[in-house]
């Protein structure tokens, strides 16, 4: 039978201004010193006053033990014999009863870049991936008491969420050129980042942590297939460029024929049109510059 762990909830602790308590403890300590000095000098009666002087010094030092400082975006969890008594978020010099124990928690924004993970994408291709995550502590009670080490917990959850996200998307859409193509890690970075952030928030909520931003910091094929995938991408780029060149050449030839017909510069029959189209396509689509050939005869000679 699984045991359900109750979530802790942050509460406001009852604390005091440290400035006033510092002054009070200094006065008590100073008073004890004055009593001891006066007793030793004989200015005050019996030696019992020496004991009171020592007691005042001990009380003053004891009161000083309750002082602590908080900087902006820091919090102090207050405990009494292990029981949570609230959290103090007020910056400055603060004071609490000395027998209360204290645990300081930083609520500042933290920036973490995960280690590079080698995982398989949705199509089984091994890839390397890493993420940059911005997070902060939202509930100090949950962060301290509901998980063993909230910083380590967040780091582990980042790796777990990255593996889950990677298995849901392909690296790119090289094999999916249809209209119903699916989002990919490389082409849909914003969508992947949003899903990663949402999944991380769901995972780290138990630790009282909130993720403000999560983005992929590294994305590449694994070294064993990187060279093959690079050749494939180069081939795709060449084919795409060729396709664009041919499309532009056809449009230019079509426009040239229409202009010649509109201006009635020369009358071309079907054979001459075919020859002109062939020559223009060769010139426009060739990798090298075309070499002119002077025809001394006729087109049909």
Assign 3-class secondary structure to 209-271. EEEEEEEEEEEEECHHHHHHHHHHHHHHHHHHHHHHHHHHHHHHHHHHHHHHHHHCCCCCCHH
The three-state secondary structure class of 29 is helix
The three-state secondary structure class of 42 is coil
Quote the distance between the C-alpha of residue 147 and its chain's center: 21
DSSP structure string for 162-194:
HHHHHHHSBS--TT--STTPPPBTTT-HHHHHH
Distance CA 65, CA 74 (A): 20
Residue 185, token pair as written in the block: 């890690």
What is the tens place of the pLDDT at every residue in 161-211? 999 988 888 887 755 555 556 788 888 888 989 999 999 999 999 999 999
Distance CA 12, CA 78 (A): 10
Other beta carbons within 10 Å of 73: 13
pTM above 0.85, yes or no: no
Closest CA to 128 of 225, 226, 218, 228: 218
| pLDDT of res. 76 | 93
| pLDDT of res. 1 | 42
CATH tag for 110-221 (out of 3.30.479.30, 3.40.50.970, 3.30.70.20, 3.20.20.70): 3.30.479.30
| pLDDT of res. 43 | 55
| pLDDT of res. 277 | 65
Closest CA to 214 of 150, 172, 162: 162
> What's the distance, Cα to Cα, between the start and end of the chain in Å?
97
Q: What are the average pLDDT values for consecutive 10-residue runs of the chain, which has 301 residues?
A: 66 88 90 82 64 86 91 92 90 91 92 88 83 93 91 93 88 60 80 92 92 89 64 63 71 71 64 65 62 56 48
Beta strands in 14-125, from DSSP E residues, in sequence order: 16-17, 67-70, 74-80, 83-88, 92-95, 101-106, 110-113, 117-120
Task: List the domain boundaries for the chain.
Answer: 16-105, 110-221, 232-285
Distance CA 210, CA 133 (A): 11
| pLDDT of res. 276 | 66
| pLDDT of res. 74 | 93
Distance CA 213, CA 133 (A): 6
Angle, in degrees to the nearest 10, between helices 223-263 and 270-285: 140
Distance CA 69, CA 75 (A): 10
Quote the distance between the C-alpha of residue 270 and its chain's center: 65
Contact (CB, 8 A) for 119 and 221: no
């Amino acid at each position: 039978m699984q045991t359900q762990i109750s979530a802790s909830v942050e509460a406001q602790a009852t604390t005091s201004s440290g400035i006033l308590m510092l002054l009070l403890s200094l006065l008590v300590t100073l008073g004890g010193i004055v009593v001891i000095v006066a007793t030793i000098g004989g200015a005050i009666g019996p030696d019992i006053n020496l004991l009171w002087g020592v007691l005042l010094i001990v009380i003053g030092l004891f009161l000083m033990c309750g002082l602590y400082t908080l900087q902006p975006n820091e919090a102090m969890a207050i405990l009494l014999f292990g029981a949570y008594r609230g959290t103090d978020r007020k910056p400055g010099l603060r004071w609490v009863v000395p027998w209360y124990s204290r645990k300081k928690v930083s609520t500042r924004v933290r920036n973490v870049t995960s280690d590079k993970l080698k995982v398989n994408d949705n199509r089984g291709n091994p890839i390397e991936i890493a993420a940059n995550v911005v997070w902060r502590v939202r509930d100090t009670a949950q962060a301290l008491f509901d998980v063993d080490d909230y910083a380590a917990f967040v780091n582990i959850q980042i790796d777990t969420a990255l593996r889950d996200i990677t298995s849901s998307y392909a690296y790119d859409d090289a094999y999916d050129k249809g209209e119903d193509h699916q989002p990919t890690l490389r082409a849909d970075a914003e969508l992947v980042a949003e899903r990663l952030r949402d999944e991380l928030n769901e995972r780290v909520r138990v630790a009282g942590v909130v993720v403000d931003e999560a983005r992929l910091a590294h994305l590449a094929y694994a070294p064993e297939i990187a060279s093959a995938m690079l050749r494939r991408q180069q081939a795709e780029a060449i084919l795409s460029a060729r396709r664009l060149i041919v499309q532009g050449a056809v449009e230019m030839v079509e426009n040239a024929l229409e202009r010649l017909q509109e201006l009635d510069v020369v009358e071309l029959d079907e054979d001459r049109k075919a020859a002109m189209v062939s020559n223009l396509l060769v010139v426009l689509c060739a990798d090298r510059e075309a070499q002119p050939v002077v025809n001394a005869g006729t087109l049909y000679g």
